[in-house]
Structure 1
Amino acid sequence: MPLVDQMLSQVLVLQVNLYACKARLEADSDPEALHDLRIAVRRIRSLLHPLRRHPAVVPLRHAASEVGQITTPVRDLEVLAAELGRRGLTACCSARLAGLRSRYRDILASPELERLFTRLDLWPDEFRAAQREGDFDNLAIRIVNQITKQSRQLMSALGNTNHDPHELRLLAKRLRYCAEAFPRLSPLPSATFQALKQMQSVLGDWHDRYQWCLRANQEEDLQGLVPVWEEESVQLLAESELIAAQLSSLLRPEKKDSAPLG
């Protein structure tokens, strides 16, 4: 299947997934509906990232970005509520869960979500029109160059002894999702995918605890957990350093085992 057709097909699958997530959110049927919706949105953005400046792509990526922004605080609250429940702090957990219901409704009724679905409906025709003009004749090269660029950015950050965990988390996430969107074009060794996933997971857990400690400054019922979260943060950063060493080895140009283009 031609690469442009593959992109169209993948976005269509993600669009169907988004409708399913929206229905789950409306029914309040499971706690992972919003999380899965956000992953689908993130994958749409990653899939289109190599063409992010093209006029046929900009509106859809912007709409996806808006949905990501408005759902982030709600997802953060979900994760915090789950943490409090796991710690046995039932009252604290319930207080935050109670506030989630209305925030789900706000997301479902938001112009940002409506705009994303509208852009998804319009995008295939706009993308095909650009294809007919020959705009995507070098698409495979663009994708390989984009993954290579992101790989170098992560490698540079890993080589900085004072690297910022926030930056590392974002760079690992971007590279992982972009490479996963185009596995046959990715020049990365196959082992890199698992290492990126581990880095994203560990630094995601660290980021959660960082945010919770900040929230404790305004939310008094969280203050008793700050010492625990701070201790866990140290452990998670130590674990991330081990993964960083593995990633550095995998990303060295001389150790790459490039996959065939196609």
Structure 2
Amino acid sequence: MAKAKKHARRLDAGFAAQPAGEVAATLIRAQQSVFRDAWSHYRKAAEDDPEALHDLRVELRRLRAWVRLARDVVKTRKATRRRLKALGRSTSPMRDREVMLDLLHQVGDTPDCAEVAERITRLTDEHEPAAHQRLVFDLKPGLKPRARSKTPPFFEWFGEQLTLMLDLIRRDFAQGRDGFHAARIQVKHLRYLVEPLHEPFTEVDALLKDLKAIQDRLGDLHDLLVFRERLPIYAGWLIADELPEPLARPGKQTRAVTRSFAGVRDQTIRLAGWQHEAFETRWQAWETERPAIEKRVVTACERLAASLESSARGGN
């Protein structure tokens, strides 16, 4: 949040009435600087600071979100955009591994799942060891953001962005379980869009908190779906861990092999049951909370758009 405030300080007092391309280019340059700082910190402190990778990913997402959202009013280097996209993809396996290990830790708190959770955690180190190879990225050339010609005033462009994103979020929410992940991405981009206006418009604070809350809740739901998708992989690891012992003995070992498969079957069923219960509990809580928080977000966005227009027109 503090970095978002710094972005706002890069803007002139009358930025709301200025061309959207010039304002957006200023914000992209500011975020590119923040991203570069995060990259430099990661390169120096990744082994000592467990948050360095997380911070890098967040600042990279902020930068790429603003480049994408402002593409109609700001030009940027295509080759650099591609390199940033590739960097983002290269960090995903690291993040996914940590998320799944955290979920396995939660699974371990359930008595009948504790043993299998511990085994899968151990097998994760064997089958998906933590990446020790450092990320590779060249900070230069940069994005070189340039305003497109004849862009509308910033307050008009920003208001249109708010309206468009709210429409997309409503559409995705209406699709229920089939749309919540897409809604989460839109909510995240909306939060990044609004963040730089936190300092000149202090009423944005509550909006940002609500957007982060939505993002976190939907993120937890998505992680649980990914966990379920990985159950066949985990079952394969367990079988591969079970079979060497009985198959090392001569003969068909029918009973021993059957017991191994039956044991993994039961463990997989317990894991599926844990995931189902965890997902349903969180989903029901989200459905209960959603109408109120969605209404607050819409109201806050409308108020922000009005404040921005009022600022552009000199407060009249």
**Partner residue of 2:18?**
none
Q: From the superposition, tell whether residues 251 and 155 of structure 1 become closer, same or farther in structure 2 (CA, over 3 Å).
A: farther
Equivalents in 1 of 2:205, 2:140: separation in Å?
36
Residues 163-182 of structure 1 correspond to what in structure 2 (within 5 A)?
164-182=179-197
Question: What whole-Å deviation, never above 9, does each CA across 1:201-222 have from its counterpart, x for those lacking one?
Answer: 1111111111111111121147
- TM-score, scaled to structure 1: 0.77
Corresponding letter in the other structure for 2:212: K
Equivalents in 2 of 1:59, 1:184: separation in Å?
33
**Partner residue of 2:274?**
228
Identity %: 19
1:114 aligns with 2:137: yes
Structure possessing the higher relative contact order (Cα contacts under 8 Å, 6 or more residues apart): 2
Residues 50-129 of structure 1 correspond to what in structure 2 (within 5 A)?
50-52=69-71, 54-86=74-106, 87=108, 89-97=117-125, 99-101=128-130, 103-105=131-133, 108=135, 113-115=136-138, 117-119=139-141, 122-123=142-143, 126-127=144-145
Corresponding letter in the other structure for 2:54: H
Corresponding letter in the other structure for 2:193: C
Equivalents in 2 of 1:249, 1:231: separation in Å?
28
- Of 163-172 and 202-211, the range deviating more from structure 2: 163-172
**Partner residue of 2:160?**
145
**Partner residue of 1:207?**
222
**Partner residue of 2:210?**
195
The Cα shift of 1:76 comes to: 0.8
1:250 aligns with 2:296: yes
The Cα shift of 1:185 comes to: 8.1
Equivalenced residues, count: 246
The Cα shift of 1:251 comes to: 4.3
| Kept after mapping to 1: 8 A contact 2:173/2:179 | no
**Partner residue of 1:32?**
51
The Cα shift of 1:199 comes to: 1.4
1:15 aligns with 2:61: no
Q: From the superposition, tell whether residues 100 and 183 of structure 1 become closer, same or farther in structure 2 (CA, over 3 Å).
A: farther
CA RMSD of superposed structures (Å): 3.2
- TM-score, scaled to structure 2: 0.65
| Kept after mapping to 1: 8 A contact 2:168/2:183 | no
The Cα shift of 1:228 comes to: 0.9
The Cα shift of 1:171 comes to: 1.9
List gaps (5 residues or longer) in structure 1: none
Q: From the superposition, tell whether residues 93 and 168 of structure 1 become closer, same or farther in structure 2 (CA, over 3 Å).
A: same
Equivalents in 1 of 2:160, 2:59: separation in Å?
24
The Cα shift of 1:252 comes to: 4.3
Equivalents in 1 of 2:81, 2:193: separation in Å?
14
List gaps (5 residues or longer) in structure 2: 1-9, 12-22, 109-113, 239-266
Q: From the superposition, tell whether residues 212 and 168 of structure 1 become closer, same or farther in structure 2 (CA, over 3 Å).
A: same
**Partner residue of 1:45?**
64
Equivalents in 2 of 1:162, 1:219: separation in Å?
24
Equivalents in 1 of 2:28, 2:132: separation in Å?
30
Equivalents in 2 of 1:171, 1:255: separation in Å?
14
Q: From the superposition, tell whether residues 162 and 92 of structure 1 become closer, same or farther in structure 2 (CA, over 3 Å).
A: closer
**Partner residue of 2:287?**
241
Equivalents in 2 of 1:137, 1:59: separation in Å?
27
Q: Which has more radius of gyration?
A: 2
- Of 141-150 and 228-237, the range deviating more from structure 2: 141-150
Equivalents in 1 of 2:34, 2:285: separation in Å?
35
| Kept after mapping to 1: 8 A contact 2:62/2:192 | yes
Indicate the SS of the match to 2:232: coil
